[in-house]
Every structure is written in structure tokens, then in C-alpha cells.
């Protein structure tokens, strides 16, 4: 038996909602898990770059039992007291790796859902969400990969995840600006302080409330005020040369509602009202060009659907 699952790319944080908000994008990984018939054939893992994703460097991605998809599947098997023996795992990727677009969440979620199907659905969505978050560490990526749309998520002390889907006004467009280099999430987290000033916590607290209200009421002015952050982006600027310039230069560019770092970076998300596309691209390209960074632009809607079994 074999099961294939398609899971979307994601953008975490969305400015003010560090480790909390996220959204899904219509770029996908397809994970196929197959129980092989020949006993003793072991674990086989194949990773294939899909078209338009040739830049992905797969050389460092392990294809043995250290592979993150295998680990996710193994965790689920262990959860029901079993050990995976003969499995063939195929990962077809459209999602750029190491760019803040949730590639690892996407494959973990896909692998878990596929294995859950193979095993006769021993785990429900909440359990799978909790296992995936435990493995990946960031519910703000796992949640939109799982359920799609714009989401809020909180990883609770007992290991469970509280999560909800939020509405999104499709008149607000996304421009995802992907630079030509990778940034490791662990490195990007290592520059964050252990403690932050109370005034910065209050700054973000107010903005997360604004963000949710803006989404429910399609309030562009409030969304604009909310897409700001003092908890992570300022500290990560040194790892993303050009980020501060892009954000400053886009502050007064017509059509722009807000500019945020995608997850732990280095990609940048511009939320805009659908107008002035070429000027926005030019501002981003010129700011990065100064630092010798080239980038790809993707104009994408929010993907409303999460992981699907094909
Ligand atoms: N919220 C996490 C971070 C996402 O910003 O570090 C990591 O992909």
C-alpha cells in the first residue's frame, strides 16, 4: 500500500506574531510513503526537486534514518508500539529549502499524515499536530502546513497545540521575495535575546490584537499598524543584509501594507493591495543588489487548503 500527501509551504510569525501566526502558500511538497512488499528491503528515501526549484541544494539532506520525514514516521509508529521496517519514502519538493518558507514543516506534516493513513489512522489531527510540533519545534509553521489559511497556534506546556484558522481578505496580496542564499533556523534563533524589554513585549502584544481584529474586519489601516515587530526582526537584521533597507524603503511605497521577515528568514514577505507591483519589486531588488544578493519574486495568494491526501 502507498499513500501520497501534498502539503503547502508556510510563512511563520507575520511580523508581530513571533512563534504564533503563520500562513500557507500554494507551493507544495508531495510525500509518498510506501510499505514495500519485500521483507528485509529496509528503508529507501528518495528526494526529487520539482521544476522551478532547481536551486535547492539537496546534497546535505540525509537519506538515511536521520531524515526528518523518516523520524516523523518512526515517531508515529512508536506511538502505537510499532517499528517501521520496510518503507520507501519519496519526497518531491517545490519549496525552497532554508529560506523561511517552512520546507521542513511541510515534509514532517506530509510524512506523518501518510504514515497515519498507512497505519489505519491511529492518531487524530490534534495528536498529529502535537507530534509534528514536538519534532519541528514551531507550531506557527506546522499549523498552516496542516490546515492551510492564516493561523494562530500555541504550543502548550503539556505538549498539545491550541490552534485556529483566521480569515484572510483576498484583496491583500502577497509578494514573497526569496534571496539566493540559505539561513539556518538555529542560527537565526541563536541571535535572539533570552529576555526582552517590557516595552517591546507591550509593543507586540498590542499588534497581535490589532492583527486578529484587522483580519476579522478586513481593516487595512489596522493591518498596516499591526505588521510590525520588536521581538525578533530587529535582532535578525544582521543575518539578513538589506532587510532593514527593504523595510525602510517600502514604508512609504504606494500599495504596500506591510513588510515582514518570512519565519526565521532570509525571505521577505510584502503584503500589498495589488497595485504598484513593479515599483515594489524594484525597491526590494535594488536594496538587495547593494549587498550583492539576487532574488526571486513570487506573487502568490494565501493557500486556503492544508495538507491533502492525493
Ligand atoms: N517562529 C520561528 C522562528 C519559525 O521565527 O524562529 C521558524 O521557522
Its domain, for residue 200, covers 173-300
Strands annotated E in 110-261: 150-155, 161-166, 173-179, 256-261
Q: What is the dihedral of CA 183, 187, 193, 199, to 10 degrees?
A: 10
| CATH (domain of 10) | 3.30.230.10
> Distance between CA 255 and CA 290 in Å, rounded?
23
16 & 102 share domain: yes
Strand partners, 161: 155
Q: What is the pLDDT of residue 64?
A: 82
Distance from residue 38's CA to the centre of ligand 1 (Å): 40
pTM for the predicted model, two decimal places: 0.95
> Distance between CA 96 and CA 142 in Å, rounded?
16
Q: What is the pLDDT of residue 35?
A: 87
Distance from residue 261's CA to the centre of ligand 1 (Å): 10
Distance from residue 101's CA to the centre of ligand 1 (Å): 10
Distance from residue 263's CA to the centre of ligand 1 (Å): 5
**Contact yes or no for 280/29 (Cβ under 8 A):** no
Query: Per-residue b/e over 88-118, b at no fewer than 16 CB within 10 Å?
Result: bbbbbbbbbbbbbbbbbbbbbbbbbbbbbbb
**Contact yes or no for 145/43 (Cβ under 8 A):** no
Residue nearest to atom 6 of ligand 1 (CA): 264
Say whether 79 sits in a helix, a strand or coil: helix
> Distance between CA 89 and CA 67 in Å, rounded?
10
C-alpha cell read off for 193? 535575546
C-alpha cell read off for 175? 509578494
- Ligand 1 pocket (Cβ < 6 Å) reads 12-13, 18-19, 138, 140-141, 185, 188-189, 232, 263-264
Q: What is the pLDDT of residue 172?
A: 98
142 & 238 share domain: no
Strand partners, 10: 24
Residues 6 or more apart in contact with residue 64 via CB below 8 angstroms = 43, 45, 70
Distance from residue 13's CA to the centre of ligand 1 (Å): 7
Q: What is the pLDDT of residue 51?
A: 64
Mutation test residue for ligand 1: of 16, 68, 142, 189, the one with most atoms within 8 Å of CB: 189
155 & 178 share domain: no
What are the residue ranges in the chain where pLDDT is below 50? none
73 & 97 share domain: yes
CA angle, corner 100, sides to 97 and 104, nearest 5? 50
122 & 204 share domain: no
103 & 232 share domain: no
Number of domains present in the structure of the chain: 2
224-251: per-residue pLDDT in tens? 999 999 999 999 999 999 999 999 999 9
154 & 188 share domain: no
CA 216 from chain centre, in angstroms, equals 22
| CATH (domain of 255) | 3.30.70.890
156 & 183 share domain: no
Distance from residue 18's CA to the centre of ligand 1 (Å): 7
Residue nearest to atom 3 of ligand 1 (CA): 264
Q: What is the pLDDT of residue 55?
A: 64
190 & 148 share domain: no
Mutation test residue for ligand 1: of 96, 105, 140, 239, the one with most atoms within 8 Å of CB: 140
Which atom number of ligand 1 is nearest to the Cα of residue 19? 1
120 & 207 share domain: no
194 & 252 share domain: yes
Rg (C-alpha) for the chain, rounded Å, is 19
Closest by CA position to 168, among listed 282, 303, 63, 53: 303
Q: What is the pLDDT of residue 65?
A: 86
125 & 187 share domain: no
Which atom number of ligand 1 is nearest to the Cα of residue 18? 1
Amino acid at each position: 500500500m502507498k499513500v501520497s500527501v501534498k502539503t503547502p509551504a508556510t510563512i511563520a510569525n507575520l511580523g508581530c506574531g513571533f512563534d504564533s501566526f503563520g500562513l500557507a502558500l500554494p507551493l507544495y511538497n508531495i510525500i509518498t510513503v510506501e510499505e514495500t512488499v519485500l521483507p528485509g528491503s529496509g528503508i529507501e528515501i528518495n528526494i526529487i526537486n520539482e521544476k522551478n526549484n532547481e536551486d535547492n541544494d539537496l546534497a546535505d539532506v540525509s537519506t538515511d534514518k536521520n531524515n526528518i520525514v523518516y523520524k516523523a514516521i518512526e515517531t508515529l509508529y512508536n506511538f502505537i508500539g510499532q517499528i517501521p521496517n520496510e518503507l520507501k519514502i519519496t519526497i518531491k519538493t517545490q519549496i525552497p529549502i532554508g529560506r523561511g518558507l517552512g520546507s521542513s514543516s511541510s515534509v514532517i506534516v506530509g510524512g506523518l499524515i501518510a504514515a497515519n493513513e498507512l497505519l489505519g489512522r491511529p492518531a487524530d489531527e490534534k495528536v498529529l499536530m502535537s507530534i509534528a510540533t514536538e519534532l519541528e519545534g514551531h507550531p506557527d509553521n506546522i499549523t498552516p502546513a496542516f490546515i492551510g489559511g492564516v493561523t494562530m497556534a500555541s504550543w502548550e506546556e503539556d505538549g498539545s497545540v491550541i490552534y485556529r484558522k483566521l480569515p484572510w481578505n483576498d484583496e491583500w496580496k502577497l509578494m514573497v521575495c526569496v534571496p539566493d542564499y540559505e539561513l539556518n533556523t538555529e542560527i537565526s534563533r541563536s541571535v535572539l535575546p533570552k529576555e526582552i524589554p517590557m516595552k517591546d513585549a507591550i509593543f507586540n502584544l498590542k499588534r497581535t490584537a490589532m492583527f486578529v481584529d484587522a483580519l476579522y474586519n478586513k481593516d487595512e489601516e489596522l493591518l498596516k499598524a499591526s505588521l510590525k515587530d520588536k521581538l525578533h526582526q530587529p535582532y535578525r537584521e544582521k543575518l539578513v543584509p538589506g532587510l532593514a533597507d527593504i523595510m525602510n524603503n517600502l514604508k512609504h511605497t504606494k500599495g504596500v501594507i506591510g513588510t515582514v521577515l518570512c519565519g526565521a528568514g532570509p525571505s521577505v514577505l510584502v503584503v500589498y493591495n495589488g497595485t504598484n507591483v513593479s515599483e515594489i519589486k524594484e525597491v526590494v531588488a535594488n536594496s538587495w543588489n547593494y549587498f550583492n544578493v539576487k532574488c526571486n519574486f513570487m506573487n502568490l495568494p494565501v493557500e486556503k487548503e492544508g495538507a491533502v491526501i492525493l
